[in-house]
């Protein structure tokens, strides 16, 4: 029997499951930080939701902890890195609310299309206004799905039943996978120009913040209706309010906002807007699933069995040879996804040198974790990364070679269009990117990077440097590598902040620049 400390309200079904497995379930709600440090002593498992913060200090006090379980999706309130270092498993319930979220997206779409809350309020206020609240049908309309992950896929299934044409924007889904779902993939600007309705199902990352901005709304089909049940901050709310007032956008159904709780917004005074206070996961079924799922994961972890929703790998399970390369492998995966502008159809991962004699499966999982990290609406773990690859049509091939010419160890990622290599260098084993698209370079991975392939001629470095300088972007480090033929060269730059969209577009159009990519490696 193990003691399970539960610090937030959990469904009774989950509590009963853990006690039925023979564990002591210790429910202590509303603990302050100091009280948590005392309560966690001697606990084998800690079950939380969003209000409890599991810091390094908490993990140190809970020296007997085997597992920390988050009854929900997000893990911002758990120090996963410290838990991994201490060999504490972290688990969550990533699928507990996806059905509820998909249904809520459809509820908002229907409510917005048929003006349900507006006419409801008017009628209860004594006004019979049939002509004022005329709506539109979903049948025959084009639905644009921005983010075709698990929630987006569930919305797609339901939209087909309504007789809607489906288009989607998701760089992390293969065309074949989309075709199987009855969805046509396209760019986000094309999608906004064609769709009658758009529903958003993206993660919140630096790349997706304000992805629906003033420029995109201006290019949208006149009268487009937008639904967002994913994350606040994906839509520029001021721009959306202006587009709604002008009639460019026909309506919106919003469950999430840039700042929450949100009780004041320029959107609230617009008749064509339907809003709810972040209710996407607020169903009895979702709460029950979260409680049961996390209880099942905790029970498995305490038994030492395979845990399907573990988000980390205990440090003791990875060899000393491989462990230092795990952060590098994940960084390379992130960089590679950005270099490909999304997901390639095929990914080859090659390990050369001393790594070839080790068990490298965990490194391939780390690569996949990095590849998908910026492109899915759910946390990506070492456990679910292969499932995501299968769901999204990514073919993964792993090879090893015992010899390498220039490095003791080398990890190389290849797709039909791009290649990237990295290693650990120097006495402190610092990560280095040493090859991009078969150009030899040497530069440390950074939060913000720019990869430029250009004609190999004088002045090109100056062109890029001047453009970044004009935009107020500082270059932290830079590497230049010519091609084997000498016709082209490659610049890899680390910058102090992301390159602005207008600067990036200007560079892309400059004579002599053949290809350019922004990379965000964290």
| pLDDT one-digit tens code per residue, 323-369 | 889 889 999 998 998 888 888 888 999 999 888 878 888 899 889 98
* Cα separation values, 512 from 149, 460, 490, Å: 37, 7, 12
Query: Is the separation of the CB atoms in 114 and 301 below 8 Å?
Result: no
Active-site residue, selected from the candidate residues 70, 104, 231, 418:
231
Give me the pLDDT at residue 377, please.
66
Query: Is the separation of the CB atoms in 386 and 170 below 8 Å?
Result: no
Q: Which residue has the higher pLDDT, 142 or 320?
A: 142
Active-site residue, selected from the candidate residues 24, 129, 137, 260:
260
pLDDT band, very low/low/confident/very high, at 412 (cuts 50, 70, 90): very high
In order, the DSSP letters of 212-250 are B-HHHHHTSPTTEEEEE-S-TTSB-HHHHHHHHHHTSEE
* Cα separation values, 306 from 70, 89, 297, 358, Å: 17, 11, 9, 22
Cis preceding-peptide flag for 113 (omega within 30 of 0): no
- Exposed / middle / buried, residue 292 (Cβ in 10 Å: 0-12, 13-18, 19+): buried
Active-site residue, selected from the candidate residues 104, 177, 278, 517:
278
pLDDT band, very low/low/confident/very high, at 81 (cuts 50, 70, 90): confident
Looking at residues 35-44, what average pLDDT do you find? Answer: 96
| Residues sharing a CB contact under 8 Å with residue 37, sequence separation 6 or more, in sequence order | 57, 58, 61
Q: Is 231 a catalytic residue?
A: yes
For 54-113, list the strands marked E by DSSP: 67-70, 89-92
Please check the confidence at residue 36 and state whether its pLDDT lies above 60. Answer: yes
Query: What span, in angstroms and rounded, lies between the C-alpha atoms of 514 and 437?
Result: 13
The domain made up of 323-520 is a member of CATH 3.30.1330.90: yes
Q: Is 439 a catalytic residue?
A: no
Query: What span, in angstroms and rounded, lies between the C-alpha atoms of 332 and 412?
Result: 9
Q: What is the mean pLDDT of the chain?
A: 91
Q: Which residue has the higher pLDDT, 275 or 439?
A: 275
Give me the pLDDT at residue 135, please.
94
* CATH ID of 98-275, from 3.50.50.60, 3.40.50.720, 3.40.50.970, 3.40.470.10: 3.40.50.720
Give me the pLDDT at residue 463, please.
92
Q: Is 260 a catalytic residue?
A: yes
Query: Is the separation of the CB atoms in 270 and 245 below 8 Å?
Result: yes
pLDDT band, very low/low/confident/very high, at 391 (cuts 50, 70, 90): confident
Query: What span, in angstroms and rounded, lies between the C-alpha atoms of 413 and 163?
Result: 41
Percentage of residues of the chain with pLDDT beyond 90:
65
Give me the pLDDT at residue 115, please.
95
pLDDT band, very low/low/confident/very high, at 74 (cuts 50, 70, 90): confident
Give me the pLDDT at residue 177, please.
87
Give me the pLDDT at residue 433, please.
93
Query: What span, in angstroms and rounded, lies between the C-alpha atoms of 482 and 491?
Result: 9
Query: What span, in angstroms and rounded, lies between the C-alpha atoms of 136 and 272?
Result: 13
pLDDT digits (tens, 9 = 90+) for 222-232: 999 999 999 99
- The full set of domain ranges for the chain reads 3-94+285-317, 98-275, 323-520
Residues in a beta bridge with 517: 451
The domain made up of 3-94+285-317 is a member of CATH 3.40.50.800: no
- Fold equal for 98-275 and 323-520: no
- Assessment of whether the complete model's pTM goes beyond 0.85: no
Give me the pLDDT at residue 25, please.
96
Looking at residues 47-63, what average pLDDT do you find? Answer: 94
pLDDT digits (tens, 9 = 90+) for 295-312: 999 999 998 787 888 888
- What is the DSSP-derived secondary structure letter of residue 310? B
pLDDT band, very low/low/confident/very high, at 182 (cuts 50, 70, 90): very high
| Residues sharing a CB contact under 8 Å with residue 495, sequence separation 6 or more, in sequence order | 446, 448, 449, 450, 468, 473, 474, 475, 476
Give me the pLDDT at residue 243, please.
97
Please check the confidence at residue 485 and state whether its pLDDT lies above 80. Answer: no
- What is the DSSP-derived secondary structure letter of residue 163? T
Looking at residues 141-159, what average pLDDT do you find? Answer: 95
Give me the pLDDT at residue 378, please.
64
Give me the pLDDT at residue 428, please.
85
* Cα separation values, 169 from 148, 153, 191, 198, 236, Å: 7, 12, 7, 10, 18
Give me the pLDDT at residue 40, please.
96
Percentage of residues of the chain with pLDDT beyond 70:
97
């Amino acid at each position: 029997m193990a003691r399970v400390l539960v610090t937030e309200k959990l469904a009774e079904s989950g509590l009963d499951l853990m006690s039925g497995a023979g564990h002591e379930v210790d429910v202590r709600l509303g603990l302050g930080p100091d009280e948590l440090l005392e309560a966690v002593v001697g606990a084998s498992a800690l079950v939380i939701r969003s209000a409890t913060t599991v810091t390094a200090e908490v993990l140190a006090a809970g020296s007997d902890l085997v597992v920390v379980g988050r009854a929900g999706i997000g893990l911002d309130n758990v120090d996963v890195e410290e838990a991994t270092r201490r060999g504490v498993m972290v688990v969550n319930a990533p699928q507990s609310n996806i059905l509820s979220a998909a249904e809520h997206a459809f509820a908002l779409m229907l409510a917005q299309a048929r003006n349900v809350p507006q006419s409801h309020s008017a009628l209860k206020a004594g006004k019979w206004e049939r002509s004022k609240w005329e709506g539109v049908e979903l049948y025959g309309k084009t639905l644009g799905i921005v983010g075709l992950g698990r929630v987006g896929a569930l919305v797609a299934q339901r939209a087909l039943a309504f007789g809607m044409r489906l288009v989607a924007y998701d760089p992390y889904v293969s065309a074949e996978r989309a075709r199987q779902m009855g969805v046509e993939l396209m760019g986000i600007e094309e999608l906004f120009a064609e769709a009658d309705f758009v529903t958003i199902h993206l993660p919140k990352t630096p790349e997706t913040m304000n992805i629906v901005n003033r420029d995109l709304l201006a290019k949208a089909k006149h009268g487009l209706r937008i639904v967002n049940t994913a994350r606040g901050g994906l839509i520029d709310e001021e721009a959306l309010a202006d587009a709604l007032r002008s009639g460019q956008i026909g309506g919106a159904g919003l469950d999430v906002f840039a700042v929450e709780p949100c009780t004041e917004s320029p959107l609230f005074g617009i008749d064509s807007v339907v809003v709810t206070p972040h209710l996407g996961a607020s169903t009895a079924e979702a709460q029950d699933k979260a409680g049961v799922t996390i209880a099942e994961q905790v029970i498995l972890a305490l038994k030492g069995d395979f845990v399907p929703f573990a988000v980390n790998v205990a440090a003791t399970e990875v060899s000393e040879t491989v462990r230092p390369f795990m952060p590098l492998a994940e960084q390379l995966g992130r960089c590679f996804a950005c270099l490909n502008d999304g997901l390639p159809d095929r990914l080859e991962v090659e390990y050369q040198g001393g790594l070839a004699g080790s068990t490298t499966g965990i490194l391939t999982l780390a690569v996949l974790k990095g590849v998908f990290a910026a492109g899915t609406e759910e946390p990506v773990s070492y456990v679910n990364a292969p499932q995501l690859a299968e769901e999204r049509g990514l073919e993964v091939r792993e090879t090893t070679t015992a010899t390498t010419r220039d490095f003791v160890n080398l990890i190389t990622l290849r797709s039909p269009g791009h290649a990237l290599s990295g290693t650990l260098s120097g006495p402190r084993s610092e990560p280095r990117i040493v090859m991009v698209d078969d150009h030899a370079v040497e530069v440390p991975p950074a939060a913000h990077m720019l990869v430029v392939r250009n004609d190999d001629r004088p002045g090109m470095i100056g062109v890029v440097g001047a453009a970044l300088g004009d935009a107020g972007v500082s270059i932290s480090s830079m590497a230049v590598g010519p091609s084997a033929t000498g016709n082209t060269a490659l610049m890899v730059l680390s910058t102090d902040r992301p390159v602005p969209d207008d600067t990036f577009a200007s560079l892309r159009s400059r004579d002599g620049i053949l290809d350019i990519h922004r990379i965000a490696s964290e």
